[in-house]
Every structure is written in structure tokens, then in C-alpha cells.
């Protein structure tokens, strides 16, 4: 008998009979009936499908959903309903999840550093053929664990200089230009299709970032002097938050198309993108309850160790509204509040400001929007605050496009 046992990071969000997807209530109705004492994730599958449908229709290539952003099966099914047929996976667990849900999906293993076991499992069990890499060591590992297969897609991730994105991703992955040239030359004889990828950073608000990255990729490809079948422009496609109005998706895609055309690659070269936030952010909100008020501070039953990680140190501001099913009605006058989460850690703090009725009080509920991206998937079990529930609702997103 094995002495090892598997432990997940948190208790799964519960879908009980009362909150079954068939009910499809509004958020207000749900709160009035359920009066949830635990965080409640309100999923909007129709909105997620609509966002996916719009992106797929606009992007002139293959759309690979970044599963890390929100791996909930209901979210993945909504994306599939919206036309997404390719998935960017970063672990063996994500690969297995997607393959179990969608046997015919295109799965691309886009983490630049993978375990040997994960590579072998993805290749031999789950039929994955596309792997990203940013070092000679990773290339050797992929070749060894796939037994030097002759049908591999090998994608070299290119390092970018620090850019304007809210979350800079330039410090951990990516080959410098000279190294990328060498990797392309080394991988070319082993690859059925060879590609170059990059990532401009998460929540990037500058459309020109993609064109500049494409130009750098073009210089690397020219220096390598080998044929390329794939250009992967990564993710970073932004969404709206309070006081943040992103550029239209069309403006970003126009820069991508212009940059792609300037590369003058052979006809048939594939263009990929890896959106995450742009497809799912608006599709989930989280209902929390106020447990105490101290001046302008509201103590909530969820926080940075739960669904509100981005509201902590990164200081994302999310749309909020107070829900009070019983009289008296909330004040029309809004005041700025800061939040504290339920754990004993003083770092469980969210500066905001979050504008809510000035009479917000213990027992009130607050709906927090734009949490379909990196909300549920970043929850931890710290202090035992790992319980949450999930329901599907009809409401449009709090920041509707």
C-alpha cells in the first residue's frame, strides 16, 4: 500500500441541489433565497460563450484558451460552446482535464519548463504534440521523453524586454534573441512544425506592444534562417476594470495583423493567440458578506487568500455593488472603502478604494465583478477558509461590453 496520498489545494466549490445550474436565478434572487454565509461564485456561461464567440470571429488564426486563467469545467464548456477548439495548458493536470472534457480538442503544452513525467504523459496518453521551450535543456528533455517522435510541434518562446503590461512576464521565461536563434536552428530538424512565441504581459493596454514583439520575432527568424510554421502572439489581451478602459480588441488585432504581414512569411503560416482574461473575466462574479465594519474598513468572508488575490498587492479595483435583500434600502451616497479578508494575516488586505453605499454594515452582501479570471483558481486553504459555492445565473456581467 502506498504511503502517499493526494491533497488538493482547497476544497472544491460546492454545487448542491439548491444551487444547481438548472435554477438559473439572478444574483439578487439567489442572495434573497440562499443568504450565503460562504463566498458564492456566480457563473455566467452565456456571457463567457459570447466573449469567446466574439474573439474567435475577430482573431485571424487559432485561439488557444489559457486554461490557467479559469479551469472550471463549466467555464471550459462555455468556451467550447463559443467556438474555442484549442487550449493552452501548463501542466499535466490541465492537459488531462481538457482531454477528458473534449476528446477532439487541440491541446498545446505551453509551459517552457515541464517535468519529464508530464511531457511523456501528455504525449503518449493525451495525444499532445505541441510543446514550448526556451532552452537547449528543455529541447533535449522533450525529445528524450517523446522518444524523438517525428510529429512534434516545437515552439521557441522568445524573451521580451519589460513592457507596459500590468503584470510583467519578462523575468522568468523566454530565450534571449541570440539563444532563440540557436534554438530554432537546433529544433528545426526535429520539428514537423516549428514556431516562435512571446508574451507581452498580462492585462496589456498598449496595442503597439504586440507589433514591437512581432518585429523582434521577425529579426530572430531572419537571423536563424530556417522555415517557420507558427507565430504565437501569446496572451495579455486586456479587459475593463473601474477607471480602466482598455483599447478595443480590434485595435490590438490590427497591430497583430500588421506585424504578422510585415514578417512576410510563406502563405499558410499559422497565427496563434492565447487569451485568458479577455474571454472569462466578466463571466464570474463573487458574492461576499460583510462580517464587521470599522470606519472605512469592511471585513469580508473572502480575501487575498481566496478569490481576491488581485485586489491585494497588485491593487486591482473590481466593480462592486451592495446587496441588501431586507429594508432599509442602502444609501444612495457612495463612500470609499477598503477591505480585509477573513484570515488572521494582516496582509489579507485590499486597499481599493471600493465605492459602496456609505451605510454599508455587518450582514450586507457585496457582489464583486470581473473575477472570472484568476478568481477561483487562486484560492487557497489558508486558515481553513477554503469553502465556497458556485451557481449559474442569468445576469449580464457587472461591466458589460
End-to-end CA distance of the chain: 54
Is the domain of 240 the same as that of 355? no
In the set 42, 204, 344, 377, the catalytic residue is 344
Q: Are residues 102 and 210 in the same domain?
A: yes
* 5, part of any domain: no
Residue 154 lies in a domain: yes
* pLDDT score at 162: 85
Question: Is 231 in the same domain as 347?
Answer: no
DSSP-derived letter for residue 267 is T
Whether residue 164 sits in one domain with residue 288: no
Q: What is the pTM of this model?
A: 0.93
Does 248 lie in the same domain as 137? yes
Based on the fold, state whether residues 145 and 271 are members of the same structural domain: yes
Co-location of 78 and 120 in the same domain: yes
Q: Which three cell numbers stand for residue 331?
A: 444609501
Residue ending a domain, choose from 252, 280, 308? 280
Q: Is 69 a catalytic residue?
A: no
Kindly state whether residue 11 falls inside one of the protein's structural domains.
Answer: no
Give the residue among 313, 305, 316 at the shortest CA–CA distance from 388.
305
Whether residue 308 is found in the same domain as residue 225: no
Residue 298 and residue 270 share a domain: no
The domain total for the chain is 2
Residues 229, 192: one domain? yes
- Rounded to whole angstroms, the Cα distance separating 174 from 163 reads 14
Residue with cell 478568481: 375
Question: Which grid cell sits at 274?
Answer: 492565447
- Maximum Cα–Cα distance across the chain: 72
Residue 38 maps to which CATH number? 2.40.37.10
Domain housing 186: 45-280
Domain boundary among 280, 310, 344: 280
Classify residue 318: in a domain, yes or no. yes
Of 280, 308, 324, the residue at which a domain comes to its end is 280
Within-domain flag for 400: no
Residue 229 maps to a domain: yes
Q: Same domain, yes or no, for 156 and 265?
A: yes
Domain membership flag for residue 188: yes
Which letter does DSSP use for residue 159 in this model? P
CATH code of residue 238 = 3.20.20.10
Q: What is the pLDDT of residue 17?
A: 36
Cβ atoms of 385 and 306 closer than 8 Å: yes
pLDDT in tens, the chain (401 residues): 444 444 344 444 554 434 444 445 789 999 999 999 999 999 999 999 999 999 999 999 999 999 999 999 999 999 999 999 999 999 999 999 999 999 999 999 999 999 999 999 999 999 999 999 999 999 999 999 999 999 999 999 999 988 777 877 777 899 999 999 999 999 999 999 999 999 999 999 999 999 999 999 999 999 999 999 999 999 999 999 998 999 999 999 999 999 999 999 999 999 999 999 999 999 999 999 999 999 999 999 999 999 999 999 888 899 999 999 987 999 999 999 999 999 999 999 999 999 999 999 999 999 999 999 999 888 998 999 988 899 999 889 988 75
In DSSP terms, 356 is beta-bridged to: 335
Q: Which residue shows C-alpha cell 496589456? A: 204
Are residues 220 and 289 both part of a single domain?
A: no
Question: Of how many residues is the chain composed?
Answer: 401
Conformational region of residue 79, where left means phi above 0, alpha means psi within -120 to 50, and beta covers everything else:
alpha
If DSSP codes are grouped into helix, strand and coil, which group holds residue 26? Answer: coil
Q: Is residue 134 part of a domain?
A: yes
Amino acid at each position: 500500500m502506498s504511503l502517499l496520498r493526494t491533497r488538493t489545494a482547497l476544497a472544491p466549490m460546492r454545487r448542491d441541489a439548491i444551487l444547481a445550474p438548472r435554477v438559473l436565478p439572478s444574483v439578487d434572487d439567489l442572495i434573497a433565497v440562499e443568504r450565503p454565509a460562504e463566498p458564492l461564485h456566480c457563473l455566467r456561461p452565456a456571457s463567457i460563450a459570447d466573449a469567446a464567440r466574439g474573439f474567435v470571429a475577430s482573431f485571424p488564426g487559432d485561439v488557444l484558451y489559457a486554461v490557467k486563467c479559469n479551469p472550471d469545467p463549466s467555464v471550459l464548456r462555455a468556451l467550447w460552446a463559443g467556438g474555442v477548439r484549442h487550449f493552452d495548458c501548463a501542466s499535466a493536470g490541465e492537459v488531462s482535464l481538457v482531454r477528458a472534457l473534449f476528446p477532439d480538442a487541440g491541446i498545446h503544452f505551453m509551459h517552457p519548463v515541464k517535468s519529464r513525467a508530464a511531457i511523456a504523459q501528455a504525449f503518449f496518453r493525451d495525444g499532445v504534440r505541441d510543446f514550448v521551450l526556451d532552452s537547449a535543456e528543455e529541447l533535449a528533455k522533450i525529445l528524450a521523453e517523446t522518444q524523438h517522435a517525428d510529429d512534434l510541434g516545437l515552439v521557441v518562446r522568445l524573451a521580451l524586454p519589460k513592457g507596459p503590461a500590468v503584470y510583467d512576464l519578462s523575468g522568468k521565461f523566454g530565450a534571449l534573441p541570440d539563444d532563440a536563434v540557436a534554438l530554432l536552428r537546433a529544433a528545426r530538424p526535429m520539428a514537423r512544425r516549428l514556431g516562435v512565441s512571446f508574451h507581452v504581459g498580462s492585462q496589456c493596454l498598449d496595442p503597439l506592444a504586440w507589433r514591437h514583439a512581432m518585429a523582434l520575432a521577425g529579426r530572430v527568424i531572419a537571423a536563424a534562417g530556417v522555415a517557420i510554421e507558427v507565430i504565437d502572439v501569446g496572451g495579455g489581451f486586456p479587459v475593463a476594470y473601474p477607471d480602466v478602459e482598455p483599447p478595443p480588441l480590434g485595435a490590438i488585432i490590427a497591430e497583430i495583423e500588421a506585424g504578422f504581414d510585415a514578417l512576410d512569411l510563406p502563405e499558410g503560416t499559422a497565427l496563434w493567440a492565447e487569451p485568458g482574461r479577455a474571454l472569462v473575466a466578466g463571466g464570474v462574479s463573487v458574492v461576499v458578506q460583510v462580517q464587521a465594519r470599522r470606519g472605512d474598513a469592511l471585513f469580508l468572508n473572502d480575501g487575498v487568500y481566496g478569490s481576491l488575490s488581485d485586489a491585494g498587492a497588485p491593487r486591482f479595483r473590481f466593480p462592486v455593488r451592495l446587496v441588501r435583500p431586507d429594508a432599509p434600502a442602502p444609501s444612495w451616497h457612495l463612500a470609499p472603502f477598503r477591505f480585509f479578508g477573513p484570515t488572521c494575516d494582516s496582509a489579507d488586505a485590499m486597499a481599493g478604494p471600493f465605492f459602496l453605499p456609505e451605510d454599508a454594515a455587518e450582514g450586507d452582501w457585496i457582489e464583486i465583478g470581473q473575477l472570472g479570471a484568476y478568481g477561483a483558481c487562486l484560492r487557497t486553504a489558508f486558515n481553513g477558509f477554503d469553502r465556497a459555492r458556485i451557481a449559474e445565473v442569468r445576469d449580464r456581467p457587472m461591466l458589460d461590453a
